[in-house]
Amino acid sequence: MLFNKFAATLLSAIAAVNAISLPSIEQAREHVARGLVPQAFADALDPALEKRADYMCHMACGLAIYGAWECGPEAGPFDSECLCATDSSFSQQIAACNDCGWCLYQSYYGYLAGPLDTCGLPITPTGTQCAETATTLTPTIGPFQTYTPTSV
């Protein structure tokens, strides 16, 4: 058992070193397709997905997600009175998150679309920072990756 954990850690470290030394996004995508490196490594090399979110953006969006979970399970349904109250953890963070959210859209909005819709808010970011590189992307993680708003 201990050997298996060691071997898994060693293989992950080797994959990480190989990913760091990948010369191109194309090679990184090939490695992802073969299961040699995680998708996040290829994403980090993709200039079209350049992440420009600062710490405050990560904090606001992360705290908004945790705030939503205070009002319901990760995949919903959410208690709208709890979630949408002006003094809720979610409500206190979501405006700042939506302002910078395109920078984190793929990673965070798969968790935020449901709570945003519950409060009658747009399920995509409202700011313009990073929008030029992110508006064609879709969330890749979270229970609301392919979410359709109920208020359409």
Return the closest-CA partner of residue 78 out of 126, 113, 122, 124: 113
Structural domain total, the chain: 2
87 and 45 belong to one structural domain: no
Residue appearing with tokens 């969006």: 61
84 and 125 belong to one structural domain: yes
- Reading the chain (152 residues) residue by residue, the pLDDT tens digits are 545 555 555 445 555 545 455 457 678 788 888 887 777 666 666 655 545 667 788 889 989 999 999 999 988 899 999 999 999 999 999 999 999 888 888 788 888 999 999 999 998 888 877 766 665 666 665 676 666 666 54
65 and 115 belong to one structural domain: yes
Domain of 26 in residue numbering reads as 2-49
Rounded to a whole number of angstroms, the CA Rg of the chain reads 18
Distance, CA of 82 to CA of 129 (rounded, Å) = 29
Q: pTM here?
A: 0.61
pLDDT, residue 72, reads: 92
- Taken as a whole, the chain contains a residue count of 152
pLDDT, residue 22, reads: 47
Return the closest-CA partner of residue 67 out of 115, 103, 105: 115
Report the first-to-last Cα separation within the chain, whole angstroms.
52
- The distance from CA 46 to its chain's CA centroid, rounded to whole angstroms, is 16
26 and 72 belong to one structural domain: no
Question: 100: exposed, middle or buried (C-beta count within 10 Å: 0-12, 13-18, 19+)?
Answer: buried
